[in-house]
Amino acid sequence: MRAMSLMAALVVAVVSVGLMACEPADPPSNKAGASPAPTPMSVARAQARPTGPGAASPAVSTEEMGTAADVSQFQALPALNAKVFSLSGGDPAANGLVTYFALFGGPAEGWRAYAVGDYVEWKMTEARAGRVVLAVKQEAAGPDGNIRSQSRHVFIDFAWDGETPPETVTVNTGP
**How would DSSP label each residue in the chain?**
-HHHHHHHHHHHHHHHHHHHHSPPPPPP-PSTTPPPPPPTTT---SPP---S--EEEEEEPHHHH--GGGEEEEEEEGGGTEEEEEEE-SBTTB--EEEEEEEE--TTT-EEEEEEEEESEEEEEEEETTEEEEEEEEEEE-TTS-EEEEEEEEEEE----SSSPPSEEEEEEE-
Per-residue pLDDT of the chain (175 residues; tens, 9 = 90+): 444 444 444 444 444 444 344 444 444 445 555 555 554 444 456 678 888 888 898 887 767 666 666 788 999 999 999 999 998 876 666 788 899 999 999 998 899 999 999 999 999 999 999 999 999 999 988 899 888 999 999 999 999 888 899 999 999 999 9
